[in-house]
Amino acid sequence: MHRRTFLKGLALTGGCAACSSLARASGNIPWNYAGDRGPEKWGDLNSTFRTCSLGAQQSPINITGAIRAQIEPLKLDWKVTAAEIVNNGHTIQLDLPPASTLTHNGRDYSLVQFHFHAPSEHQIDGRAFPMEIHFVHKHAETGDLAVLGVLVSTEGGEPNIPLSQLSAIFPRKNGQKGKLEKADVSKLLPPSLEYYTYEGSLTTPPCSEIVTWFVLKTPLIADPRAVKRFTALYKGNARPVVPTNRRLILESS
């Protein structure tokens, strides 16, 4: 495989969006990013969503006032694996076998999926980005999550070719799925893994406060056409930033 090639092999099929992990997490209760089922109403839609409105450690946030600290570097061991790509009605998501890991504070979290938001959900000193990728890792015993957020910019460098390749095969129909023989997820990372970290939540219902967030300081550079391929399907699938509530935000040095 060429070092810059992200994927190999694709077979698209029909599928049920409710079968995706995001749909399972929300209990198949309809929600949206606008209107009477938008973010301001999530907590009222169902008792299992109450944390969306009552939680004190919600995400995403505007990352500002971070404290530079001597914290451990990110330890990623991501493998080239098969993947399933699905248009689940809220985003484009790739589901992965639990072969890749993120290690933090001596605990291993398995990479189980990644998905996209446009515009970015997190902001840096009030600045939003055209897109954000969330790499979701799960701890096998506790169910806690470690989510790596990669901000995506269309300015400032050479566009990421693997992201362009992936965007070209996004399933266009809600519920449509595809099988990839090989996906090299590490090719979707920027050159620096310096990061911000804080304790937060899922950014979609049920908004569970079980997430340690790692948001990379360096954005991934994308071809604007790659971003447009996503926003042609989902534009505005980002929860607005919520109050930090005096949470500690650390910055690696």
Contact 136, 113 (CB under 8 A): yes
DSSP codes, 55-119: -SS-S--EE-SPEEE--PPPEEEPPEEEEEEEE-SSSEEEE--TT-EEEETTEEEEEEEEEEESS
Secondary structure, 3-state, 27-65: CCCCCCCCHHHCHHHHHHHCHHHCHHHHCCCCCCCEECC
Handedness of CA 136, 191, 196, 119 (dihedral sign): negative
Q: Verify whether residue 2 is a known catalytic residue.
A: no
Strand 220-221 to strand 145-153: parallel, antiparallel, or no bridges (unpaired)? parallel
Residue 183's SS3 state is strand
Which residue in 90, 104, 115, 134 is the catalytic one?
A: 90
Ramachandran category for residue 171: left, alpha or beta (phi over 0 → left; psi -120 to 50 → alpha): beta
> What is the helix (H) or strand (E) element at residue 211, kind and residue range?
strand 211-216
Active site residues: 90
